[in-house]
Amino acid sequence: MNELKIALQSLKMSVRTRMQYRVDSLVATLAVFIRESANIIVIYLALLKFDNINGWNVNEMLFLFSLLFLTYAFVVSLFADLRDFSRMIREGRFDRLMVRPRGLLFQLILNNADLMASAGHGTLGILLFLISAGKVGICWDFATILYYLGAIIGGVLLQGGMFIFFSSLSFYFLETNSLREIFYWNMRKFAGYPISIYHKLIQGLLIYVVPFAFVNYFPAQYLLRKPDLINYNEIYIYIAPLVGIAVYLSSYLFWRVSVRRYYSTGN
């Protein structure tokens, strides 16, 4: 119970920090919203011309995108401190957490939550969902809603797990941002589209290495059943929420091992 209280307190601290600079926070939220919307508008306009991408029409594409934005809205607040973790290590800010009577990862979660980015991504995600969800032929019954929520949670855990994994690398290397840039951010850009449009190699990366396909493509496929699903084992669409849990847990184990190593090497 006390754990939950701490988490809420961290959130409260984050809100207060952002409230210190209200205008700045508002502008930042807007900036994130506009930046991400611009991408969507480009795709929207393109689809008006081409009608569909590999069988996916405009609304289905927007639905695919909405999953990416909604999950990221949670990730960016829950795991904000892990985004630039190597700097935290270099500046010695991590050491102060090590002498506090709380779990290390637990102290990082919700700390410095990037609520502006959350608001920006979240608003866009909800907007895209509202636009598309009614028009893509999903029957929103209890089972579907349950799956959908599971997919969101799985997607959050999956990306959180990746953040934890890349942060753990900071215990071994001084600078890990370029790795993260290549493997996380670039892959995330690919994940906006149905993965069947890509070369086999990139598909493989998105499924087995940086499994963004389980954040939005496979969950969307469970709900939409587009014909390009035939290229993949159908089991993927059922296990999508579980993949998130698996990635999170294995990243957590890697984190534990890495922290233990950090104790003996120092910074």
Partner 1 sequence: MIVLKNVCKTLSGREVLKNISLHIAENELVGIIGQNGAGKTTLLNTITGILKPDSGFIRTLEKENPAAEKRVLQNLVYLSGNRSQLWEDLKIKDSIDHCIEMYRLDPSTAKKRLDELEEIFEIRSFRNSPPCHLSLGERMRCELVYGLLPQPRLLILDEVMNGLDFSFKHKIMEYFKDYGNKEHTTILYASNQLSEVEQLCRRIILIHQGSVLFDGRTAQIIALFSPCYRIEAVFSGNFPDFEDLPLEKYRLEGDLLTVDYDIHKIETVQILRHLMEKCCIRNIRILKPNLEETIQKIYGGANGKYN
CA distance 48 to 44: 6
Quick check: 87 binds partner 1 (CB under 8 A)? no
Contacting partner 1 within 101-130 (CB under 8 A):
101-103
**What is the CB neighbour count within 10 angstroms for residue 232?**
17
Residue nearer to partner 1 on the CB measure, 99 or 201: 99
Is the separation of the CB atoms in 104 and 153 below 8 Å? no
Cβ 246 to partner 1 shortest distance, Å: 26
Burial class, 49, CB count within 10 angstroms (exposed 0-12 / middle 13-18 / buried 19+): exposed
What tokens does 150 get? Answer: 């599971």
Quick check: 264 binds partner 1 (CB under 8 A)? yes
Work out which of 98, 130, 146, 242 binds partner 1, going by CB under 8 A.
98
Work out which of 23, 48, 49, 92 binds partner 1, going by CB under 8 A.
92
What tokens does 234 get? Answer: 């159908």
CA distance 234 to 200: 17
Cβ 82 to partner 1 shortest distance, Å: 18
Is the separation of the CB atoms in 128 and 69 below 8 Å? yes
Cβ 87 to partner 1 shortest distance, Å: 14
Quick check: 17 binds partner 1 (CB under 8 A)? yes
Residues that bind partner 1 (CB under 8 A): 2, 5-6, 9, 13, 16-17, 20, 92-93, 95-96, 98-103, 263-266
